[in-house]
């Protein structure tokens, strides 16, 4: 019996090693990697909104995932229902989500900014999330809508057709990189960006220096919500289905990505989102599609046990 188990073990190891050396494994690995980069780029865009709001306003905006859904529904209404050009749908989504983000901050979060307990803001954020979901249910119903991709770029075939890079993947990765670079330049090179850095360090000191703290926080919510709109459109273009709960799980995973990279760090949110997308796709491909989410959250727990501040986070000592 022991000999049989040993023989099966050695046979499996030999087969697995041989499979790793085959061309098919390499091609499928590259294909999964490309898919992971695409999904991770969407997570990165959403995570940037989370990390900016937390880094500057020290608030966890759990309604952020539902802003994604609102942006996707806006594009769906403009391009599919009204039959207008998809570019107009994307612009409308960005405008609607930007205004929505500012309104959420003014109505729901600003009055609680000086609340004694941070739980007040957290509970309010959950309430806003359910409010947006139920409004979408009343307007669009419970049926899942077929979302038409806004990307008209043809897929690219590589390695004699063994690897396919879809137009949605190309656009998603390119948009994520451009936005990341633009956001970093905005923060480092503009007065508004420098004001954000100042407010993130010390709101009181920034106000004494003449910085409009309320306006800076509102601008942060506007930028984060605009990024959520773009992410929602790209997500539904790659995975063409839409319902009032579309943004819930991607929003939670993007929050995981922000924590994974170091919440409050813009490069951390980008790297965290990319890594999370790659891990999720590889987990679905090589382990279990049903266990992929559990694996993602398990890796997060392990990372936080090893480095509680995340990959790019930093320890902040509070003065008493």
CA–CA dist 28, 115 (Å, integer): 52
> For residue 141, with 0-12 CB atoms within 10 Å meaning exposed, 13-18 middle and 19 or more buried, which class applies?
exposed
**What percentage of the chain reaches a pLDDT higher than 70?**
88
Distance from C-alpha of 61 to C-alpha of 263, rounded to nearest angstrom? 12
SS (H, E, C) 268-295: HHHHHHHHHHHHHHHHHHHCCCCCHHHH
State the pLDDT confidence band at 8, using cuts at 50, 70 and 90.
Answer: very low
- Residue 153: HSE in the Cβ half-sphere, 13 Å Cα cutoff: 16
Res 316: pLDDT: 53
The alpha carbon of residue 52 and the mean position of all alpha carbons in its chain are separated, in whole angstroms, by 12
Q: Global pTM?
A: 0.85
Q: CA nearest 296: which of 273, 313, 314, 312? A: 273
pLDDT tens, 114-160?
765 777 888 888 899 999 999 999 999 888 888 888 888 888 887 67
Provide the terminal-to-terminal Cα distance of the chain, rounded to the nearest Å. Answer: 67
For the stretch 185-213, pLDDT in tens is 998 888 988 888 888 887 888 888 888 88
The stretches of the chain forming alpha helices (DSSP H) are 2-20, 23-57, 64-76, 86-104, 119-140, 167-189, 191-201, 203-208, 213-238, 248-261, 266-286, 292-306
- What domains, with CATH codes, occur in the chain? 41-306 (1.10.3470)
Question: Beta partners for 145?
Answer: 242
Please write the tens of the pLDDT for every residue from 77-87: 998 888 888 88
Tokens 């409009």, residue located? 212
């Amino acid at each position: 019996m022991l000999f049989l188990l040993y023989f099966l073990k050695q046979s499996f190891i030999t087969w697995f090693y041989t499979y790793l050396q085959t061309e098919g494994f390499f091609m499928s690995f590259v294909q999964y990697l490309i898919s992971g980069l695409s999904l991770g780029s969407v997570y990165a865009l959403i995570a940037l909104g989370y990390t900016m709001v937390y880094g500057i306003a020290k608030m966890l905006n759990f309604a952020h995932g539902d802003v994604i859904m609102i942006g996707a529904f806006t594009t769906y209404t403009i391009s599919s229902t009204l039959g207008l050009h998809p570019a107009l749908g994307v612009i409308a989504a960005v405008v609607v989500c930007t205004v929505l983000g500012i309104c959420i901050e003014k109505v729901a979060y600003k009055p609680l900014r000086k609340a004694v307990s941070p739980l007040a803001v957290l509970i309010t954020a959950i309430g806003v999330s359910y409010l947006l979901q139920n409004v979408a249910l009343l307007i669009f119903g419970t049926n899942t809508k077929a979302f038409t991709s806004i990307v008209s770029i043809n897929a690219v075939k590589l390695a004699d057709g063994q690897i396919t890079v879809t137009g949605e993947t190309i656009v998603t990765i390119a948009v994520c990189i451009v936005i990341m670079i633009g956001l970093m330049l905005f923060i480092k090179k503009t007065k508004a960006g420098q004001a954000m850095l100042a407010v993130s360090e010390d709101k009181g000191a920034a106000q004494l220096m003449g910085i409009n703290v309320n306006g800076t926080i509102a601008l942060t919510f506007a930028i984060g919500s605009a990024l959520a709109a773009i992410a929602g459109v790209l997500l539904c273009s790659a995975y063409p289905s839409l319902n009032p709960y579309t943004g819930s799980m991607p929003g939670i995973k993007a929050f995981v990505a922000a924590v994974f990279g170091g919440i409050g760090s813009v490069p951390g949110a980008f790297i965290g989102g990319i890594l999370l997308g790659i891990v999720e796709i590889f987990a679905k491909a090589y382990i279990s599609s049903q266990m992929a989410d559990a694996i993602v959250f398990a890796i997060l727990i392990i990372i936080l046990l090893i480095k509680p501040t995340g990959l790019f986070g930093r320890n902040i000592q509070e003065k008493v």
